[in-house]
Structure 1
């Protein structure tokens, strides 16, 4: 009887729970799913073009193109003949060769060892090739709805403007101040609102002076040189080239004048394959979107030979300098000696070098370590030593992801930095030009590795390799950045595709009015409240004047009455 009295309320409660669950399930079954109707809109044709570059210029944009292709859009990759290979892995991208590209495909870094060599000599071939094989109607037909232009591809921007097409500018770094010094000069001395989209007084945006992300640790002498001296040096060195470029534009029927090219971008969206942690935090314009780091999700696997080599070791240094940088013999000797000394000291147990553009005659004939042992380069290339391997090309992502890869020796390209952090590998940087010194300094200051400087002695270089390979602090910092890259790279491609579709479906005569800040439609005086300060100053001036007049009047009245009183006293 007692058991029955206990089970009866329990059964009632159980029935109530079941009935509630059934009613909730029925209610949920009647809910409708919210579905975006934009997916039913007319599909568009998109074209991407870049004058020069490697994976850091192409792959991340093509990854966005692959996603857009999967959504039903047609994505064209307009490439130089020799760069068509970059489009091959992307099955939803239609690669269209446009003819021979620039001859400036690799850079011999031996020239950088000349004390008289300047950055401007490096940039001249790129500028000369900007409008090579250009014609207004060549790039974009009437079927194209949107152009995507690499930040160096001024010809792409001009073609888009000539075709009345909306366009997006892509870059790996947030260059919103001049890439070339002559542009930077105008940006500094002319009030141009497009110059402040991602800039701040403490951020180094000029490719010539941005060896450090910010001016925080720069001396006043360095800051003065970067602010006032370098722009005029750029003007002096690049003015003849810029005049030639203007002449080319005029021959092609393009409106040509000496102006900041970023002025033509001010109403266009800028997509940046970057994120805070890899670039210095600063105020950001609504016309700039950071979507990085975008890392292609598919990569080539290790060859059987490389798989066997890495499996046979536990602490391998991987050495690679990208597609365009060719290290000098002196660079190679210092790096190779340092890594081999690291092997002899036990910090490493092997190395893998992807030579790419560096042929065997670029390497020294022999390497002598601090222990006095000599290694013949011919023997290294012939794989006589089981812990040393030279390869013309390697699948970089697969190598970095292998657990035996302990250290990445790199030139400091942004794409390589992303891949290294994604794989959780510490780095040694040997930067040459462009954004590489900036990236290298950021890597070192954030405790992710160190810079191998060309003036280091063999002992110092060997110590640096061992320190980076064994440092627990560097290991912890790399794991932090690994988490950062994994979290942001998961949705970068999807977000980039969404932004491209935003421009496709919301632009009005090529502009994005919903993203334009109010100051774009206001005078400089009103946008910065200068008129209010002037009005306040005028009110203060008038008030002060009125008060002064009243006080002076009162003083005169008091003085007058005092004089009258004195006269009356004298008369009495």
Structure 2
């Protein structure tokens, strides 16, 4: 079962013409809705020709064709759902069964000291970049802490928890724009924010004091935050993280920046906007997503299990599911798209116009001859 967005689907079952066919650009722009004509033309023809010229082969039609052939009769289970996935028609061999979580979404507990810290606050920001991503330098970590402390001094948050994995380079101290010095090992700093090597993400997102999640935008983190109705500020690094960040920004469900490129002011302003949420649109979208995720997660695993059993008990001797075979595969290209009907209509109109023209010409000729005789 695929754990990610069907924008990278291995089959054409969920790939109508308006989905982006460039596998690199598709990481951020999964469909052509927001792409200009020039960009679409470039991706469809120019980019492919350039790759063919420089690499000696076309980099995506060949492997995709092989994969399509391999999986064309397989039932594809995708751990995703509409609300994150682009809404579009999908074939009978594609099923969105998400969100399925790796463990009970209500599992996990907090360290008593951290739980006490959260209980004493109401507007806490949680920061985590996943199991493998991290700030690559002390300078980047400094900007992250600046972003948090500047908003703390502005009164937009009353605490933060940064789950910084081991090896994350951290500065010894931070000096904010107000001239205040914060030493990370001081009691004063510990009373404001916590930097921990690990925390149960489900447990901390479940806490009501967490109002915003600064995340890399991986599918797992997004699913957990959506389930608990948290606003998100994205710092995507690669892959579908960029797609998620763009998608949520366009829905007015969050903001994003590239961590290694954004300056302190950009980061601080972005977090400030998410925290303030002046029109309430982000929290409204967060609640809408929360409802979608909580509703679908109740029976997601059972739904996926049912589909696996369907394959096990109904597949034919070749492992195919004849009851799910799209009838379009039995039709010619013209019949499948009703082009034969349009061609017939065009031929009929052409015949009528031609016949009418010939009748008019004959009548005019007849009248001309008659007039000449008279």
Q: Quick check: TM above 0.5?
A: yes
Residue pairs, 1:67-216, within 5 angstroms: 169-175=1-7, 194-195=11-12, 197-204=13-20, 206-210=22-26, 211-212=28-29, 214-216=31-33
User: What value does the CA root-mean-square deviation take over the aligned residues?
Assistant: 3.2
Q: Moved runs in structure 1, 4+ residues, more than 6 A?
A: 236-243
Residue pairs, 1:427-466, within 5 angstroms: 427-454=232-259, 455-466=261-272
Residue pairs, 1:18-417, within 5 angstroms: 169-175=1-7, 194-195=11-12, 197-204=13-20, 206-210=22-26, 211-212=28-29, 214-232=31-49, 259-295=65-101, 296-298=103-105, 299-329=107-137, 330-356=139-165, 358-360=166-168, 362-377=169-184, 379=185, 385-417=190-222
Query: Alignment partner of 1:514: what SS?
Result: helix
Distance across 1 between alignment mates of 2:54 and 2:234: 29
Distance across 1 between alignment mates of 2:66 and 2:188: 52
Pair 1:486-2:302 in alignment: no
Query: Alignment partner of 1:436: what SS?
Result: helix
Distance across 1 between alignment mates of 2:174 and 2:239: 30
Higher relative contact order (CA 8 A, sep 6+): 2
Query: Alignment partner of 2:324: what SS?
Result: coil
- After superposition, the Cα gap between the structure-2 partners of 1:529 and 1:276, relative to the gap in structure 1 and judged at 3 Å, is same
Query: Alignment partner of 1:533: what SS?
Result: helix
Q: Gapped runs of 5+ residues in structure 1? A: 1-168, 179-193, 244-255, 567-572
Conserved in 2, the CA contact under 8 Å of 1:340 and 1:369?
yes
Query: Alignment partner of 1:170: what SS?
Result: coil
Conserved in 1, the CA contact under 8 Å of 2:127 and 2:161?
yes
Q: Report the Cα offset of residue 355 of structure 1.
A: 1.8
- After superposition, the Cα gap between the structure-2 partners of 1:505 and 1:315, relative to the gap in structure 1 and judged at 3 Å, is same
Distance across 2 between alignment mates of 1:258 and 1:322: 29
Query: Alignment partner of 1:386: what SS?
Result: helix
Conserved in 1, the CA contact under 8 Å of 2:51 and 2:59?
no
Pair 1:421-2:237 in alignment: no
- After superposition, the Cα gap between the structure-2 partners of 1:531 and 1:371, relative to the gap in structure 1 and judged at 3 Å, is same
Conserved in 2, the CA contact under 8 Å of 1:177 and 1:205?
no
The structure number with the bigger radius of gyration is: 1
Q: Report the Cα offset of residue 429 of structure 1.
A: 0.8
Query: Alignment partner of 1:326: what SS?
Result: coil
Q: Report the Cα offset of residue 237 of structure 1.
A: 7.2
Distance across 1 between alignment mates of 2:64 and 2:79: 29
Match for residue 501 of structure 1? 309
Q: Report the Cα offset of residue 257 of structure 1.
A: 7.7
Conserved in 1, the CA contact under 8 Å of 2:214 and 2:235?
yes
Conserved in 1, the CA contact under 8 Å of 2:334 and 2:340?
yes
- After superposition, the Cα gap between the structure-2 partners of 1:242 and 1:447, relative to the gap in structure 1 and judged at 3 Å, is closer
- Post-superposition Cα deviations, 1:137-173, rounded to whole Å, max 9, x if no partner, equal xxxxxxxxxxxxxxxxxxxxxxxxxxxxxxxx52421
Q: Gapped runs of 5+ residues in structure 2? A: none
Q: Report the Cα offset of residue 476 of structure 1.
A: 2.6
Distance across 2 between alignment mates of 1:417 and 1:262: 29
Q: Report the Cα offset of residue 315 of structure 1.
A: 2.2
Normalised by the size of structure 2, how large is the TM-score? 0.84
Conserved in 1, the CA contact under 8 Å of 2:121 and 2:159?
yes
Distance across 1 between alignment mates of 2:269 and 2:156: 10
Conserved in 2, the CA contact under 8 Å of 1:409 and 1:429?
yes
Conserved in 2, the CA contact under 8 Å of 1:176 and 1:198?
no
Q: Report the Cα offset of residue 557 of structure 1.
A: 5.1
Residue pairs, 1:7-18, within 5 angstroms: none
Q: Report the Cα offset of residue 399 of structure 1.
A: 0.8
- After superposition, the Cα gap between the structure-2 partners of 1:328 and 1:225, relative to the gap in structure 1 and judged at 3 Å, is farther
Give the total of aligned pairs. Answer: 365
Query: Alignment partner of 2:33: what SS?
Result: coil
- Post-superposition Cα deviations, 1:284-306, rounded to whole Å, max 9, x if no partner, equal 22221111222332522223343
